[in-house]
Amino acid sequence: MNCLCCSGKMLRSINRNGLYWYCPDCRQTMPVSPSINRLLQQGELSPTQLINLDYIVQ
């Protein structure tokens, strides 16, 4: 996924608030789908399963 601000390559990241995209070039963060974060918080989805979610989040 490319950054909407600078077109740099986005990195998928996770913290206690959920999943988000981060651009190291312009240091901006972008949220992802609230449904993905809800699944993480409810424990129905583990962070290790996120590797296979590229087609969902992009």
Write down the mean pLDDT value for the chain: 77
In this structure, is residue 5 part of a structural domain? Answer: no
In a domain, 29, yes or no: yes
In a domain, 1, yes or no: no
Domain count, the chain: 1
pLDDT at 6 over 60: yes
Domain of 39 in residue numbering reads as 11-57
Q: Is residue 6 part of a domain?
A: no
Q: What is the pLDDT of residue 42?
A: 76
Whether the Cβ atoms of residue 41 and residue 34 lie closer than 8 Å to each other: no
* Burial track 10-43 (b if 16+ CB lie within 10 A, e otherwise): bebeeeeebbbbebeeeeeeeebeeebbebbeee
More confident residue, 40 or 57: 40
